Amino acid sequence: MSKFVADVGGTNIRLAQIENGSLSHIKKYLCSDYKTIGAAINAYFAEFSDLNFTAGCLGVACPVNGDMISMTNNPWQFSISQLQTELGLDWLGVINDFTAVAYAVTVLNNQQKEQVGQGQARELDNIAVFGPGTGLGVKHLTYTSDGWLALDGEGGHVDFAPVDEVDIAIWQFLTEKFGHASAEEVMSGRGLVHIYQAIAKHQGLLAPLDDPADITERALDGGCALSVATLNQFCKILGSFAGNLALNLGTRGGVYIGGGIAPRFTNFIKQSDFRARFEAKGRFRDYVAGIPTFIITEPDHGLIGAMAYLNQNCKG
């Protein structure tokens, strides 16, 4: 009897088997090549026809609020119960893809994450996870008698809270542009562009770049002072936000950064004011100073998180 996990995005579905507590036989398929998610998963099963898959867990890039799932950026729709029957499984778990990221941090080793600054994680204590990417995912984890529990919410859409003069300029730029300044509008790919444009306006400069990858590249090679200032401010804002998450739930188990952006410039973050802003909490500086912060560097953390969720919740 075999178990599998999948990371289902808008473009690709990645699948893997669980063998001796680790991932194996990772394969990627284009979603557009298959009319249904069941067809894609069965294509994976067909490559291992000697195995009998009995359980699986899917991390999907869309809300999970019941039996019916509608993918956000591809046309797949499915019923969890019907998919379980179609695949002939005894157990099938379906979780949001960022919930999978959250569960991953409970099993990552030191080679799969990079610590930024001081602090020591307390075992089985509360954890916060956030991930700047296309948007801004946020989760908290708490340990219960049944194991780890991810707390749902929409933390990426809280108000952006400016801390310094440049933050205030960014807040004003976003408020004028959208009528509201949310955390996601600064901590995401488009958020990098917003910071770049806001600093340019604040300093009376031209802002010729409009792609976050280009801004990041120019910052890392030092070829553009405005891009360097943008990435520095991005790191400061990440630090303040991470510190707020730490205070929200007393996350002495640590605060983790996932998503597709931060791992691209881990060393830059470590040398930035990220940790200084994390700890800049006035009378509660000493409280947060002992809480560690990490960047998830493991590229397969979505699959690892689905595996962690399956191992905890599938008793078969």
Residue 255 in marked binding region? no
Structure token pair of residue 280? 């800049």
Residue 222 in marked binding region? no
Residue 119 in marked binding region? no
Q: Which helix (H) or strand (E) holds 130?
A: strand 127-132
Q: Which stretches of 112-211 are DSSP H helices? A: 165-178, 189-203
Distance CA 72, CA 63 (A): 8
Assign residue 310 a region: left if phi > 0, alpha if psi is -120 to 50, beta otherwise? alpha
Quick one: how far is CA 68 from the chain centroid?
A: 23
Helix, strand, or coil here: 120?
coil
What's the DSSP call for residue 9? -
Distance CA 124, CA 143 (A): 6
Residue 169 in marked binding region? no
What's the DSSP call for residue 159? B
Residue 288 in marked binding region? no
Distance CA 33, CA 193 (A): 33
Structure token pair of residue 35? 């009319």
Q: Among candidates 100, 14, 5, which has minimal Cα distance to 296?
A: 100
Give φ, ψ of 155 to 5 degrees: -65, -20
Residue 64 in marked binding region? no
Binding positions for ATP are 6-11
